[in-house]
Amino acid sequence: MPKRNVVSWTSMLFGLVGVWRIHEAWSLLNAMPEKNIVSWNLMTAGYAKNSRMVEARVLFENSSCFSFV
């Protein structure tokens, strides 16, 4: 990709979460230079879909998505 932005990063994150590659999705989220509420929500949902409720709750409580409210 010539230029990555939050949309392209979030699309890659969506793909990883969709195929249950949650560890790789977490690594990608950490590598993202810019995150938005969609990227945080995708990661939280990915943990929940993988029955990792503790991680989902911790991520939700500590994510920067609270600054969007």
The whole-number pLDDT of residue 24 equals 94
**What is the pTM (predicted TM-score) of this model?**
0.74
Alpha-helix runs per DSSP H in the chain: 6-18, 22-31, 37-49, 53-62
The whole-number pLDDT of residue 18 equals 86
What angle, 0 to 180 degrees and rounded to 10, lies between the N-to-C axes of helices 22-31 and 6-18? 170
pLDDT by residue for the chain (69 residues), tens only, comes to 567 788 889 999 899 988 888 899 999 988 988 888 888 888 888 888 888 888 888 888 877 655 554
The whole-number pLDDT of residue 15 equals 92
Q: Where are the domains of the chain?
A: 6-68
